[in-house]
Structure 1
């Protein structure tokens, strides 16, 4: 029997704080997990190198891969461009967590960068910058001259596919959009759950897994009021409470 408040491991990112390297997670992810009934813990990048990785994850009921200022390293998906904003430690940990969650049917929610990591882990590829691809016309990248509360406002709809997990929520929803990388080739064993009107993939799930979902938007921002955010976090925590079968 699972604890009433399952333990949710949240991946950390490398940051510089007061001129010193740090491992950090934005408070909004922690607050969202806590609000919906999870016990959040933070995993530093060094967890990937730990000899006790399996023992550490054995205490965990679910995994949250957050968005990030950094982007997935090009070498992870066979690209050769120069990527200025990288976090190789985050890459290493996230891909190890994805493999663990796949092997052990552990619930996993992936947000923005997390969705891109999820797609690459299953042998998909990314557009390094969707603005360089013909056909995408929705405002997928924020205006960073605006205040954060403006940047995170909903800017376009996502069209939800009728054969996926998100179909239980509805047919479409208005979401925010703050990303440069985007899915190109969808990874093996992944189902497209939702797309923008211009065709950009906005959500994916892993077939034959209890709950592994990636979304390109940021449900953690308005997690109390936004209905799709409520649905995602409620389902995530619900599955984290359930016994996992390998």
Structure 2
């Protein structure tokens, strides 16, 4: 019998906890999914190696690619710079999840690193550091000297583009911004949903899909208070609750 609450598979990241290698997901992602009626489960990077990957994912009604302190490996998008903060296991699992969602129509929400993975999966490229690109000037990177509640507060607008999935929300909103990597070339088949005033791509979607959206900001922090965060999670869980025709 189908669970009445949609099961949302959340990708985990490699992290050292108490001096031991661990697979972890920040609580705020779990809380956001649970708050809007989803039933969260966590996927470690070893899931990518499971020969029964499709059978494992068949229980999932939606996929959440979280933000992370690590960055997408340069080799994934043809870059050659040295990237200190990598998580190759996370890369492997995320790209396999994107392929699965693309093939099956499983709803997928991608946040920050997740947006970057989504863009690269569709053969887009990234700027390793937006601060090195002429023309970008918005405060896209947090002030790490401030408390977390300050770092995650809204700092710049996003201009929502017409004819996309986010257009139903409105034309503009104020969002937080905590990232170094940023979209360079937009991936094939992807629609630009929102831009920062300086032109940096802030949201993308695959319109030929029931629901696949990536956002550069972090909707999971103020998921119960911020109106755009509410919109994103409610739409995600709505589509995850809707049977997909394969």
Q: Using the alignment, how far apart are the partners of 2:225 and 2:209 within structure 1?
A: 28
Unmatched 5+ residue regions in structure 2?
A: none
2:227 aligned partner: 227
CA RMSD of aligned residues (A): 0.8
- Checking the alignment, whether the CA contact within 8 Å between 2:164 and 2:207 is kept in structure 1 is no
Q: Using the alignment, how far apart are the partners of 1:65 and 1:100 within structure 2?
A: 13
Q: Using the alignment, how far apart are the partners of 2:143 and 2:2 within structure 1?
A: 43
2:140 aligned partner: 140
Q: Deviations over 1:118-152 (max 9, x none)?
A: 00000000000000000001000000011001100
* Superposition deviation, residue 245 in structure 1: 1.9
Q: Using the alignment, how far apart are the partners of 1:2 and 1:111 within structure 2?
A: 27
Q: Using the alignment, how far apart are the partners of 1:244 and 1:2 within structure 2?
A: 13
- Is 1:237 matched up with 2:234? no
1:156 aligned partner: 156
Q: Using the alignment, how far apart are the partners of 1:214 and 1:122 within structure 2?
A: 12
- Checking the alignment, whether the CA contact within 8 Å between 1:126 and 1:182 is kept in structure 2 is yes
* Superposition deviation, residue 52 in structure 1: 1.4
SS in structure 2 at match of 1:174: strand
Aligned residue pairs, count: 246
* Superposition deviation, residue 2 in structure 1: 5.7
2:195 aligned partner: 195
2:105 aligned partner: 105
Unmatched 5+ residue regions in structure 1?
A: none
* Superposition deviation, residue 4 in structure 1: 2.6
Q: Using the alignment, how far apart are the partners of 2:2 and 2:131 within structure 1?
A: 45
1:15 aligned partner: 15
1:209 aligned partner: 209
- Checking the alignment, whether the CA contact within 8 Å between 2:64 and 2:110 is kept in structure 1 is yes
TM-score (structure 1 length as normaliser): 0.99
- Checking the alignment, whether the CA contact within 8 Å between 1:129 and 1:180 is kept in structure 2 is yes
TM-score (structure 2 length as normaliser): 0.99
Q: Deviations over 1:142-189 (max 9, x none)?
A: 000110011001000000001100000000000000000000000000
Q: Using the alignment, how far apart are the partners of 2:117 and 2:62 within structure 1?
A: 17
SS in structure 2 at match of 1:33: helix
